[in-house]
Structure 1
Amino acid sequence: MAKQLLNVVNLNKDFQVKSDKTWFRKPTSVRVLSGVSFELFEGETLSIVGESGCGKTTLGRCIVRGMNATSGQVLYQTEAGEEVDFLTLKGKEFKRLRKDVQMIFQDPYSSLSPRMSVYDIISEPLLANFKLSKEEVDEKVTDIAQKTGLNVSYLKRYPHAFSGGQRQRIAIARSLISRPRLIVCDEAVSALDVSIKAQIINLLKDLQQQLQITYIFISHDLSIVQNISDRVAVMHLGKIVELAPAEPLFSLPKHPYTEALLSAVPEPDPRLRKERIILEGEVPNPANPPSGCHFHPRCAYKTDLCTRQEPQLQQIGEQHYAACHYAGELNLKGVARL
C-alpha cells in the first residue's frame, strides 16, 4: 500500500459576509467548508468534484495555505517521515516545506505576471527557496521547460505572446521547478480548448510518472476526472458526500447527488441514450442550510429521516464512503467506463 502523504482532518472554513442592506449589523458567518476529512497517498490523483460554490477551490487554497482555514488540521508527512500540521507551520519551518506543496491556478491569463518574462516566472520559486548559482538556475529552468513542452527560445518572451495552452504549460513549469511532492490543480484545464485540454492532461500524467508527483485535481468536468483519477471525492455544500476509487464511483455511485452529476456526463456513443436527472429546487444557501441532509430538498429518494437527521460519511464498501442514510439500499445509476 502506498505511503500516506497528507491527512486532512475536520477542516472548516468560515467567511464573514455583510449585507449592504444591514451595514450597521455585525457580519454573518458563513461556513463554506464543514468537517472535511480525507487521506491522500503518494503518487495518486485524488479529484474533487461538485457544483460551483460547493467549496472545491476553497478546500484547495486552504490546503496550500493560500487562505487560512478556520479550524482543522492538514497533517503532512515529510520526506524524513515526520508528521507536521501544515496549517500551523511558521517562519523558517514553513519556508522549508512550502516548496513541497504547489498549486496550478484555473486562469492561465491572470495567474502569470505580464511584467515578468517566462524565464523569470519559472525561476522565481527557485530564487525564493534555494541558494543556487546562475548556471544552476539556468540548467533547471531549461530542463523543466523541455519537460513541459516549452521551446527554450520562449524563455525570453512575455506571457502576452502565448496562447492559453502555452500559458498553462508555463504555469505547470513554474509549479514543478521546485520539485514538489504535491500539486493542487484548481480547474487547471477548464479555460482551454478540448484538444489543448487533452494535451495538458496527458502532460500531467507523464510528469506524474517521471517525477513521482501527487495530485489533488479540482474539476467540474467529470469526463476528464474519470480518466485521470485514482480516487474521487464528491462535495456538496462544503461537505464530502461520497469518496471512492474512480471506477466504482462512476459505475456504482452510492449517493443520489453523485448519480445526478454522473447523469450529465455525455456518452461518446451517439447511439446511446440515457436519462438526464434534473435536480428540482434551488441550491441551498450556505448561510442558511436546510435541516438534516443538506441535499434532501432536491433528492428524489428523501424520507422523513433525511429531513431530521444529518447523515455521516460511512464506509459501505472497500475504500467506498458515502454520507447517505440509504447508501447501501438505493439502486443508483452510473456511467460506462470511457
Structure 2
Amino acid sequence: MAKRLLDVVNLNKEFQVKSDKTFFRKPASIRVLSDVSFELYEGETLSIVGESGCGKTTLGRCIVRGMNATSGQVLYHTEDGGRVDFLSLRGKDFKKLRKEIQMIFQDPYSSLSPRMSVYDIISEPLLANFKLSKSEVEEKVTDIAQKTGLNVSYLRRYPHAFSGGQRQRIAIARSLISNPRLIVCDEAVSALDVSIKAQIINLLKDLQQQLQITYIFISHDLSIVQNISDRVAVMHLGKIVELAHVELLFKQPKHPYTEALLSAVPEPDPDLKKDRIILEGEVPNPANPPSGCHFHPRCAYKTDLCVKKEPELMSIGDGHYVACHYANDLKLRGVNHDES
C-alpha cells in the first residue's frame, strides 16, 4: 500500500459577484467548490474530470495555492513523516514546501514569459528556492532539459522560437527542476495536436517512473484519462460525484453523470455504433443550484428522493465512492459494455 501524500478535506471556494446595480445589496456568492474531499497516494496519477465549469481548474489552483480557498484543508504528508496543512503555512515554512508542489498550466503560449530565454525560465525556480553556484544551476538545467526531450543547444533561445509541443516540454522542465513530489497538470495537453498529445503523455508517464512523481491530472478528454490514470474523480457543479480506480470506473460506472460522460468517449472501431447519451436541460447555475441532487434536472433516473435530498459521497466497496441514492441499484453502461 502506497503512502499518502495528500489529504484534501472539505475544500470550499466561493466567489463574490455583484448581483445588480443596487448599491446596498450584498454581492451574490457563487460556490465553485463544495466540500471536496479525497486522498492522494505517492506515485499515482489521480485524474479530475468533468464538463467545463465544474470546478476542476479551481480545485487544482487551490491545492497549489494559486488562489486562496474559502475554507478546508490540504494536508500534506512530508518526507520525514509529518503532516501539515499546506493552506495555512506562511513565510519560511511555506517557502520550504512550496517547491515540492508544482503546476503545469493549460496554455503553453501564455504560461511562458516572452522576455525570458528558455534557460532563464527553467532555472528561475532553482534561483528562487536554492543557493547554488552558476555551474550547479547549469548542470541541473541541462539534465532536466535532456530528460524532457529539449535540445540543449536551444536553451538560450526565446519561447517564440518553439512549437506548442516544445513549449509544453519547457513548462514541464520548469515544473520538474525543483524536484517536486506532486505536480498538478491542468489540461496540460488540451491545446496540442493529437500526435503531440501522445508524445507529452508518454513523456509524463516516463518521468513519473524515473522521478517517482505524483500527478493530479485535470482533463476533459476521457480517452487520455483512461490511458494515464490510476484513479479518476468525476466532478459536477463543484462536487465529486464518483471516484474509483480507472478500470472500474470505465467498465462499471455507478453515477448517471459518469455514464453520460463515458458515452461520449469515441470508439477506435469505425464500424462499432455507440449510443450517445444526450443530457437534456440546461447546466445548473452554480449561483442558484437545484435542490437535492444537483444533477437531477438532467438525470433520466431521478425520483422524488433525488429532488428533495442531496446524496453524500459514500463508499460502495473496492475503493469506489459514489454520490447517488441508487448507486447499488442502477445498471449503467461503461465504455466496454458491448464486450462484457
* TM-score range relative to shorter protein: over 0.9
Helix, strand or coil for the counterpart of 1:156?
A: coil
User: Could you tell me how far 1:18 is from its partner in structure 2?
Assistant: 1.2
Alignment of 1:18-97 (within 5 A): 18-19=18-19, 21-22=21-22, 25-97=25-97
Count of matched residue pairs: 338
Aligned to 1:196: 196
User: Could you tell me how far 1:26 is from its partner in structure 2?
Assistant: 2.4
User: Could you tell me how far 1:20 is from its partner in structure 2?
Assistant: 5.1
User: Could you tell me how far 1:317 is from its partner in structure 2?
Assistant: 2.2
Which residue identity does 1:142 align to in structure 2?
Answer: T
Q: Distance in 1 between matches of 2:6 and 2:124?
A: 26
Structure 1 residue ranges without an equivalent (≥5): none
Q: Distance in 1 between matches of 2:189 and 2:81?
A: 33
Q: Distance in 1 between matches of 2:30 and 2:221?
A: 27
TM-score of the superposition, structure 2-length normalised? 0.98
Q: Distance in 2 between matches of 1:22 and 1:58?
A: 29
Aligned to 2:242: 242
Q: Distance in 1 between matches of 2:22 and 2:33?
A: 25
Helix, strand or coil for the counterpart of 2:280?
A: coil
Superposition CA RMSD, Å = 1.1
Aligned to 1:315: 315
1:15-61 Cα deviation digits (max 9, x unpaired): 01114544653211111000000000000000000000000000000
19-28 or 154-163, which deviates more: 19-28
1:189-229 Cα deviation digits (max 9, x unpaired): 00000000000000000000000000000000000000100
Show structure 1 runs of 4+ deviating over 2 A. 19-26
Helix, strand or coil for the counterpart of 1:317?
A: coil
Structure 2 residue ranges without an equivalent (≥5): none
Q: Distance in 1 between matches of 2:208 and 2:69?
A: 28
Matched, 1:165 2:165: yes
TM-score of the superposition, structure 1-length normalised? 0.99
Q: Distance in 2 between matches of 1:26 and 1:163?
A: 47
Alignment of 1:292-307 (within 5 A): 292-307=292-307
Percent of aligned pairs sharing the same letter? 86
Helix, strand or coil for the counterpart of 2:30?
A: strand
Aligned to 2:10: 10
Alignment of 1:121-270 (within 5 A): 121-270=121-270
Q: Distance in 2 between matches of 1:69 and 1:146?
A: 36
Q: Distance in 1 between matches of 2:248 and 2:215?
A: 20
Helix, strand or coil for the counterpart of 2:43?
A: coil
Q: Distance in 1 between matches of 2:19 and 2:288?
A: 14
Aligned to 1:106: 106
Aligned to 2:275: 275
User: Could you tell me how far 1:336 is from its partner in structure 2?
Assistant: 2.5
Q: Distance in 2 between matches of 1:34 and 1:275?
A: 32
Helix, strand or coil for the counterpart of 1:87?
A: helix
Which residue identity does 1:106 align to in structure 2?
Answer: Q
Which residue identity does 2:310 align to in structure 1?
Answer: E
Which residue identity does 1:205 align to in structure 2?
Answer: K
Which residue identity does 1:62 align to in structure 2?
Answer: C
Q: Distance in 2 between matches of 1:262 and 1:24?
A: 46
Aligned to 2:328: 328
Q: Distance in 1 between matches of 2:90 and 2:197?
A: 37
Q: Distance in 1 between matches of 2:183 and 2:23?
A: 40
1:159-215 Cα deviation digits (max 9, x unpaired): 000110000000000000000000000000000000000000000000000000000
Which residue identity does 1:85 align to in structure 2?
Answer: D
Q: Distance in 1 between matches of 2:277 and 2:24?
A: 43
Q: Distance in 2 between matches of 1:181 and 1:213?
A: 5
Which residue identity does 2:288 align to in structure 1?
Answer: N
Which residue identity does 1:309 align to in structure 2?
Answer: K
User: Could you tell me how far 1:153 is from its partner in structure 2?
Assistant: 1.1
